[in-house]
């Protein structure tokens, strides 16, 4: 048992968790009154899930050896389309709960279409994921802007707002959703046969193909699943902002990549743990909230985040090189 504990601490995730504790205590020491305030903890608990879900969505695609640059625009396009339906039903005096259900179903349906598009182009046509999803990003953004004409969709029923701001037994609903999604993606990626195929495809798609794995189909399905996760993050964002707009969450795009990589996911695919990504998300959230509290301006926060990412990437690269 003792060796098990030791293994846990020296594992990548263990080290990450220690970094998290360190950052958390550092922020608490530097600004005890405000960082540890109920208000700040609460606000982190509401922000963390949407970022975390996007990061997990990004991560499963990265493990296949791909990337999804259209991630946040998938989320906003689906929240705009679903949000319009929801707002219209609500404005016509329809039942609030029904409107919310219809809205969410449409959001997930719209995101699925986005996922089918990306998955088809990447897996079956064979376009490089970065280019395919870069194109899709502009496409989804363009469609969104055409719908909203640059404005925001609003007028959601009150029930919808509960998703982003309500609590169950004192726990914010977004947090509960996030925890369910963590467990779900863990089962999917680290325990299911499809997840195991995804890791092998990410390492070497040729070997997977030569072993009878249906590589194209699995890559296609992964993009689809990732898009549905994006839609869920979209629901949380739309609910929290009480509106839908194409630019919501766009800063999360590269942060999601950053969190995956910081969490130990190999950017070229094949390796990565859900736990690592989740802890990395917590670290990034604590740093950004902490810096915000110190009154550091937003641009300097970007400098700090970018710096952290480059340092981590360099360390990963050097340790990998040395182990070879």
Partner 1 sequence: MGRTLVEIEKISKIFPGVKALQNVGFNINTGEIHALIGENGAGKSTLIKILSGVYQPEAGGKITMNGKVLEELTPLESLRNGIVVIYQDFSLFPNLSVMENIALGHSVEKNDTLVSWKAMEAIAADALDQLGLILDFHVPLGELSVAKQQLVAIARALANNAKLLILDEPTSSLSKGEVKKLFEIMLSLKKRGIALLFISHKLDELFAVSDRFTVLRDGQYIGTYSEDELDDDQLISLMVGRKIEYTIYPKNKKEEPLLEIQNFSKKGNFQDINFTLHKGEILGLTGLVGAGRTEVAQAIFGLNPVDEGTMLLDGAPLVINTPDEAVKAGIAYVPENRLQEGLVLRKSIEDNISLSVLDSISANNGLVDLTLKRSLTEKWMDQLGIRPNNPQMLASKLSGGNQQRVVISKWLATEPRVLIVDEPTNGIDIGAKSEIHQLLRELAASGLGILVISSELPEILAIADRVAVMRHGRIITQMFCEGLNQEDIMSKAL
> Which residues would be at the binding site for partner 1 (CB under 8 A)?
187, 191-194, 196-197, 199-200, 203-204, 206-214, 270-271
Closer to partner 1 by CB, 188 or 248: give it.
188
Closer to partner 1 by CB, 120 or 241: give it.
120
Tokens of 319: 């340790």
Closest approach, Cβ 268 to partner 1, in A, equals: 10
Closer to partner 1 by CB, 97 or 187: give it.
187
Asked if 268 and 274 touch (Cβ cutoff 8 Å), the reply is no
Closest approach, Cβ 220 to partner 1, in A, equals: 15
125 by Cβ neighbours in 10 Å (0-12 / 13-18 / 19+) ranks as: exposed
Closer to partner 1 by CB, 158 or 210: give it.
210
Closest approach, Cβ 154 to partner 1, in A, equals: 40
Kindly write down the DSSP assignment for every residue of 227-266, as one continuous string: HHHHHHHHHHHHHHHTSB-TTTTTTHHHHHHHHHHHTT--
Q: How far apart are CA 300 and CA 304, in angstroms?
A: 6
Asked if 177 and 49 touch (Cβ cutoff 8 Å), the reply is yes
Asked if 229 and 250 touch (Cβ cutoff 8 Å), the reply is no
Closest approach, Cβ 318 to partner 1, in A, equals: 18
Closer to partner 1 by CB, 25 or 317: give it.
317
Closest approach, Cβ 319 to partner 1, in A, equals: 15
The residues facing 153 across adjacent strands are 244
């Amino acid at each position: 048992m003792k060796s098990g504990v030791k293994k846990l601490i020296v594992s990548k995730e263990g080290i990450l968790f220690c970094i998290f504790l360190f950052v958390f205590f550092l922020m608490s020491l530097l600004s005890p009154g405000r960082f540890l305030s109920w208000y700040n903890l609460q606000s982190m608990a509401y922000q963390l899930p949407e970022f975390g879900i996007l990061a997990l969505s990004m991560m499963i695609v990265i493990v296949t050896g791909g990337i999804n640059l259209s991630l946040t625009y998938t989320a906003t396009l689906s929240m705009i389309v679903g949000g319009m339906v929801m707002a219209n039903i609500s404005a016509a005096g329809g039942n609030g709960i029904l409107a919310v259900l219809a809205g969410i179903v449409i959001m997930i349906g719209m995101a699925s279409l986005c996922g089918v598009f990306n998955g088809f182009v990447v897996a079956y046509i064979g376009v490089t994921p970065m280019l395919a999803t870069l194109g899709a990003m502009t496409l989804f953004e363009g469609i969104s802007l055409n719908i909203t004409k640059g404005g925001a969709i609003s007028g959601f029923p009150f029930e919808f707002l509960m998703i982003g701001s309500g609590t169950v037994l004192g726990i914010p609903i977004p947090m509960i959703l996030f925890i369910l999604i963590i467990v779900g993606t863990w089962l999917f990626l680290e325990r299911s046969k499809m997840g195991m195929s995804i890791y092998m495809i990410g390492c070497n798609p040729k070997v997977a193909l030569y072993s009878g794995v249906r590589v194209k189909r699995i890559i296609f399905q992964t993009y689809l699943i990732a898009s549905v996760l994006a839609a869920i993050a979209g629901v949380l964002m739309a609910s929290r902002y009480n509106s839908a707009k194409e630019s919501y969450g766009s800063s999360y795009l590269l942060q999601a990549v950053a969190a995956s990589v910081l969490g130990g996911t190999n950017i070229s695919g094949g390796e990565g743990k859900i736990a690592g990504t989740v802890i990395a998300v917590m670290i990034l959230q604590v740093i950004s909230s902490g810096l915000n509290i110190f009154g550091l301006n937003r641009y300097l926060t970007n400098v700090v985040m970018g710096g952290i990412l480059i340092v981590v990437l360099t360390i990963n690269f050097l340790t990998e090189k040395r182990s070879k």
